[in-house]
Amino acid sequence: MSEDAQQTPERPRPADLLDDQARDFYVSAMRALRGAGVEFLVGGAYAFARYTGIERHTKDFDVFVRAAQAEGALAALRAAGCETERTFPHWLGKAFRGEYFIDVIHSSSNGVGVVDDGWFERAERDTVLGEDVRLMAAEDMIWHKSYVMERERCDVADVAHLLRGRAADLDWTYLARRFEERGHGPLLLAQLTLFRFFYPHEAHHVPTDVLRALHEAALTARPPAARECRGTLVSREQYLHDLTEWHYEDARVTGGFMTPEDVAHWTAAIDHG
C-alpha cells in the first residue's frame, strides 16, 4: 500500500458498529454456508473498509458465490431459519431475519461480472465478526463498481477510493483483462482518468503502460455489429429512452449478459418514487 494511503486515520470497522442481533445473524449465516460446503467471499462494507479505510454501517451483509452454488447457498440459509428469495435470478438472492438481510450475489446486476474461479483464487484472507473468511479482491470490487452509475447511486467515488488505497498493489494485468475480455476497456480507462483528476498526487500509481494500452485499444476498436447502446451496462434506467425511442440494441442482451426476460424483470423493479 502507498505511504500516502497509509495515512488514512484509523476508524471503527463496520463490525464494531453492529448490534448483537445483527452480529449473531451474520455469524450464523457464514457458519451455515460453510457447513453446507458453499464457498463464499465477503464483500460490501467489510471488504470496502479493508481496502479504503472508509467504514459504513448497513443492515445487509454481502456474500459472493459461484452461480452454480447460488441456490445451494439460499437452501443452507433457509435451513438455518432464514426467509429467502431469488430476488433477481440473474444475479441476486436474499436471506432475511427481522430487519437484517444477506445479499447472496453471483454476478453483477448487468450480468457482466459473473463470479468465477478467478475471484476465489485472488481473494484475501481476513477476519470478519470473529470468523476467518476470504474477502473479494480489490480488483474484482473495482470491476463490479465501475458499472454502477445510476441516478440514485453512482460508485465512481468508491472506485476512486479503492484506487487510492490499493493502486500501488493491484494486479493491473488481471484488472485490465476483466474489462478488455468483454470489450469494455474504455470504461476502465474512464475510471482511471477520473482517478488521476481526483487525486493528482496519486496519479503515478497507475502504470503508464496500462493507460497507453487502454488508450490505444480504445482508439483502434471497431464498433460491434449491432447498433447497441452500452449505457444500459451502467444504468438500468437512464438509457431506456435510447432503446424505446432511438431504437438502439440493448448491450446487455446483444453481449449475452442478460436475457430479455432478465432485463424486463430488472427494469420493472425501478423505483420511480
pLDDT tens column, 63-91: 999 999 999 999 999 999 999 999 999 99
Structural domain that includes position 210:
143-220
The answer on pLDDT for 272 being more than 80 is: no
The pLDDT confidence band at residue 8, using thresholds 50, 70 and 90, is very low
Label residue 96 exposed, middle or buried (CB < 10 Å: 0-12, 13-18, 19+). middle
Predicted local distance difference test score (pLDDT) of residue 5: 44
**Residue 208 to residues 88, 203, 204, 213, Cα–Cα distance (Å):** 39, 10, 8, 9
Give the domain CATH number at 38: 3.30.460.40
Are residues 213 and 250 located together in one domain of the fold?
no
Give tens-digit pLDDT for 164-188. 999 999 999 999 999 999 999 999 9
Are residue 101 and residue 213 in the same domain, yes or no? no
- Containing 94, the helix (H) or strand (E) segment is strand 92-97
pLDDT score for 16:
57
Residue that finishes a domain, picked among 104, 136, 168: 136
Q: Nearest-CA neighbor of 43 among 27, 25, 65, 68?
A: 65
SS3 sequence of 29-42: HHHHHHHCCCCCEE
| pLDDT value for 98 | 87
Q: pTM of the prediction?
A: 0.91
Same domain membership, residue 212 and residue 100: no
Q: Nearest CA to 190 among 172, 209, 219, 214?
A: 214
Same domain, 24 and 128: yes
pLDDT at res. 57: 74
pLDDT at 156: 98
Q: What is the pLDDT of residues 235-250, one digit of tens each?
A: 999 999 999 999 999 9
Report the pLDDT averaged over residues 125-152: 97
Residues with Cβ within 8 Å of 181's Cβ and at least 6 positions away in sequence, in order, are: none
The count of structural domains within the chain is 3
Asked if pLDDT for residue 103 goes beyond 50, the answer is yes
Q: For 181-213, how does the pLDDT look when each residue is reduced to its tens digit (9 = 90+)?
A: 999 999 999 999 999 999 999 999 999 999 999
Q: What is the mean pLDDT of the chain?
A: 93
Question: SS3 for 195?
Answer: helix
Q: Does pLDDT of 271 surpass 90?
A: no
